[in-house]
Amino acid sequence: MGAVKQTIDDIFLVDDDDENQNDNKYLLFNLGREIFGLKISSIIQIVEMQKITEVPDMPHYIKGVINRRGKVIPLMDLRLRFDMDGREYDDRNCIIIVSVHESFIGFIVDTVAEVHDIDESNIEPSPNFKNDSVKDRYISGLGKIGDEVKILLDVEKIISDKDLDIEK
């Protein structure tokens, strides 16, 4: 995670004069064998796994909260959110802290891979599948990098849920 974190830190140290510099940058991460991407502009920080305080009566994919620099941040396990099999956390798991509507939430992922520029011309719209699987509902598009396709996620759609109290 060290090399990737350094890359993220470098991205966040850019001049405010070029607000659009991060528009095409995506943080790629793994859940199982699948690779997903989040827009850098929504990411606040990447941290290693830490002690999670469980909160009763939450959806099964909300694992609890952490205290990060004086802020209590809820944690969502993206494997469970996407109806994938859960797994034991280890030292490779990371928490990607994102900001949405002036609130923070942490996404627990298997591993963080890298940061990639994906030009808008290389992003296809999300396919419209009839079965409406959980993962399909959260896709903002499919990014083409060479011969590979990365699943790009919409942070707002991931956290929007009648069971969660994170609203506009």
Residues 6+ apart with CB under 8 A from 63: 52, 54, 75, 76, 77, 80, 108
Which two three-digit tokens encode residue 113? 């891979």
- pLDDT tens for 2-40 read 444 434 444 444 444 445 566 789 999 999 999 999 999
CATH 3.40.190.10 assigned to domain 2-159? The reply is no
Name the pTM for this structure.
0.81
Rounded-to-integer distance, Cα 102 and Cα 13, Å: 20
The strand pair at 148-153 and 111-117 is best described as unpaired
Q: How large is the C-alpha radius of gyration of the chain?
A: 16
Mean pLDDT (the chain) is 83
Going 99 to 97 to 119 to 152, the CA torsion angle's sign is negative
- The pLDDT of residue 44 is 94
- Per-residue 3-state assignment (H helix, E strand, C coil) for 36-101: EEEEHHHEEEEEECCCCECCCCCCCCEEEEEEECCEEEEEEEHHHHCCCCCCCCCCCCEEEEEEEC
- The pLDDT of residue 27 is 97
pLDDT < 50 stretches in the chain: 1-18, 162-163, 166-168
Rounded-to-integer distance, Cα 28 and Cα 112, Å: 6
Rounded-to-integer distance, Cα 105 and Cα 84, Å: 20
**Which DSSP letter does residue 155 get?**
H
Q: What share of the chain is helix, strand, coil (3-state, %, to 5)?
A: 20, 40, 40
